[in-house]
């Protein structure tokens, strides 16, 4: 039995363009579409939405952990990139995602950063779910440009 349910309704507006109405009344609708040449690019397509969901979840999870320790990261920026690959049947699939989270402050200014770095990924619902089928690598860079956390490349395989 599921603990929490969520959903959305998609209504077709054009060939590949849909309006998305979420199950929360206060949430504005979202327009989605396929990129050209298939669609018109009137909104993000499914692979971009998947990538954004992973990056947002990771950045929010790291921010939440820092907040529990009353630490200010000085703003967070997350950049996500992905690649499409063909499977054994020649069908395109998301082959992997790479997320780089940049903090606005130096890690030396953030107490308990090591504790957050050691656990924030485990609390990211989307990334933990996606990793069951798609490799996701994560790196955190602080305000000075130093890499302060890098995911163990074997983590996704280990589950």
Whether residue 75 is found in the same domain as residue 2 = no
Whether residue 18 is found in the same domain as residue 68 = no
Whether residue 1 is found in the same domain as residue 28 = yes
Looking at the structure of the chain, the number of domains it has is 2
pTM of the model: 0.87
Q: How many Cα atoms within 13 Å fall on the side-chain side of residue 42?
A: 15
Whether residue 40 is found in the same domain as residue 58 = no
Q: What is the CATH number of the domain that holds 132?
A: 3.30.300.20
Whether residue 116 is found in the same domain as residue 60 = yes
**pLDDT category of residue 153 using cuts at 50, 70 and 90:** low
**pLDDT category of residue 81 using cuts at 50, 70 and 90:** very high
Place of tokens 């440009």: 145
Whether residue 28 is found in the same domain as residue 53 = no
11 exposure class (CB count in 10 Å sphere: 0-12, 13-18, 19+): exposed
Whether residue 29 is found in the same domain as residue 67 = no
Question: Residue 152 above 70 pLDDT?
Answer: no
The 10s digit of each residue's pLDDT in 106-129 is 999 999 999 999 999 999 999 999
Instruction: Tell me the residue range of the domain where 22 lies.
Output: 1-44
Residue 80's φ and ψ, nearest 5 degrees, are -125, 140
- H helices of 7-91, where? 46-68
Whether residue 65 is found in the same domain as residue 27 = no
Whether residue 127 is found in the same domain as residue 151 = yes
The 10s digit of each residue's pLDDT in 21-64 is 999 999 999 999 999 999 999 999 999 999 999 999 999 999 99
Whether residue 65 is found in the same domain as residue 6 = no
DSSP 14: S
DSSP annotation string for 80-127: EEEEEEE-TTS-EEEEEEEEEEEESS-GGGSTTHHHHHHHGGGG-HHH
Residue-wise over 42-78: b if at least 16 C-beta within 10 A, else e? ebbeebeebbebbbbbbbbbbbebbeeeebebeebeb
Whether residue 122 is found in the same domain as residue 80 = yes
DSSP 44: -
């Amino acid at each position: 039995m599921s603990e929490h349910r969520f959903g959305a309704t998609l209504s077709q507006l054009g060939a590949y363009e849909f309006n998305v109405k979420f199950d929360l009344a206060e949430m504005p609708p979202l327009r989605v579409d396929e990129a050209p040449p298939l669609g018109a690019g009137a909104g993000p397509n499914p692979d971009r939405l998947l990538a954004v969901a992973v990056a947002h979840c990771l950045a929010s999870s790291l921010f939440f952990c820092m907040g529990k320790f009353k630490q200010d990261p000085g703003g967070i920026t997350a950049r996500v990139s992905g690649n499409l690959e063909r499977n054994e049947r020649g069908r395109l699939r998301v082959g992997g995602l790479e997320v780089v989270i940049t903090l606005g402050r130096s890690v030396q200014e953030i107490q308990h950063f090591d504790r957050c770095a050691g656990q924030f990924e485990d609390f990211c619902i989307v990334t933990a779910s996606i990793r069951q089928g798609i490799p996701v690598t994560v790196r955190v860079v602080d305000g000075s440009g130093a890499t302060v956390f890098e995911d163990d490349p074997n983590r996704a395989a280990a589950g």
